[in-house]
Structure 1
């Protein structure tokens, strides 16, 4: 591997390791010579896999040296495991010369063991069993609550008010009535204005939706 390329890869490895911290191991393998058994020429945060300069090779190195290297492509974000059982999120980048021969490997191994433990602890707290759908917000006052209920009634129908039929509006207003929107002071005025109907029509729609719910 040319010296200027190797220097660049070493600087890149150091920068990535500094950016992502001690859990991120960055390794440079030089495969351009005949010393594949000691392919690691640069490594940052080698404590992650307990390797050092002069060690090697990895499975990715063996794949690059055997078989058909033209079939090898950058392999990003896969899981590997250290001998002591730690879980790594890994990426392998193959470096090629002008003839597309693999002359090096740039790899990242991020230790996510603790993150997975945190995730396992948090998931039960953030998981939901309800099938209500999208996340709701918590309103600051009844005005915001009414507005959110009105907007949700529109989403339930699935079309904007100008395109709603009489039955669509009845459905939306039934949603509002079922969810207690009409219990809010002066809600009738705001709902009527939003749907472009009179208060008389509003209450007739409510009566109509109640009739539809009556047992037959």
Structure 2
């Protein structure tokens, strides 16, 4: 007959699973509320050990809240952590253990800072006017994405009818004056070049009839 799993053993398995899934950025600590000591650590990031004081004097265990947090705290290395605490109760409903999941956000903050630095607009210079005054591709891109925004859709979601209307609107905007514009627009809209020319032919025929 299998031995019943104790509450602590079950919590340890949960702690190990969470730590393994989010390794190396998550630590899981189990506090024994009967002794106010650390009972178990998975992926130790805080340099504590079992038997250390849990430091829960100011924590309201009896509040009845199933989950506390997320809240922020500072680790020994000066890096921030975001944490949630979940009390585990016995059969009488009394809290016996506290499961704390601590996410180290240092790596994410470093990545954000690197992106902020890389994408900083303060390092950009205005486009050289003489070099880009006839940049027909950028003008097409600007009109195209503004059109898509107003239609509340995306480039990949455009229907065939929407693509046809976009070709017409681009034509009316003068987008096809550039030598390679038709090929470029066909490529961007994932249309055959023959299809774009067909739309333009129909459009010009209609203008002639008018």
In the superposition, the TM-score normalised over structure 2's length comes to: 0.60
CA distance in 1: counterparts of 2:109 and 2:48, whole angstroms: 23
1:109-188 map, 5 Å: 109-126=102-119, 152=145, 155=148, 158=151, 173-175=171-173, 177=174, 180-185=175-180, 187=182
Structure 2: distance between partners of 1:124 and 1:19: 30
Take 1:74 and 1:195, find their aligned partners in 2: how far apart are those partners? 62
After superposition, the Cα gap between the structure-2 partners of 1:84 and 1:10, relative to the gap in structure 1 and judged at 3 Å, is same
**1:108 lines up with 2:101 in the alignment:** yes
Q: Which residue of 2 aligns with 1:4?
A: 6
**Which secondary structure does the structure 2 equivalent of 1:63 belong to?**
coil
Is 1:69–1:101's contact at 8 Å kept on the other side of the alignment?
no
Helix, strand or coil for the counterpart of 2:73?
A: strand
Kept in 1, the 8 Å contact 2:32–2:97? The answer is: yes
Residues 178-212 of structure 1: CA deviation (Å, up to 9, x unaligned): xx34424583975574489431446999xxxxxxx
1:172 to 1:97, Cα distance in 2 relative to 1, 3 A: farther
Equivalent pairs, count: 174
- Structure 1 alignment gaps of length 5 or more: 130-144, 206-216
CA change 1:121–1:183 in 2 (3 A) is: same
CA contact (8 A) 2:170 2:176 kept: no
What TM-score, normalized to structure 1?
A: 0.58
Q: Is the alpha carbon distance of 1:49 and 1:88 closer, same or farther for their aligned partners in structure 2, counting shifts above 3 Å?
A: same
Deviation at 1:27, TM superposition (A): 0.5
Whole-Å separation in 2 of the counterparts to 1:22 and 1:162: 49
Structure 2 residue 79 is matched with structure 1 residue 56: no
Name which of 156, 177, 198 aligns with 2:203: 198
Paired residues of 1:30 and 1:103 also in contact (CA < 8 A) = yes
Query: Do the aligned residues in 1 keep the contact of 2:167 with 2:196 (CA within 8 Å)?
Result: no
Q: 1:174 to 1:86 in 2, by over 3 A?
A: same
Q: Is the 8 A contact 1:149 1:181 kept in 2?
A: no
Q: Which runs of 5+ in 2 are unaligned?
A: 123-137, 153-158, 183-192
Aligned residue for 2:60, secondary structure, equals helix
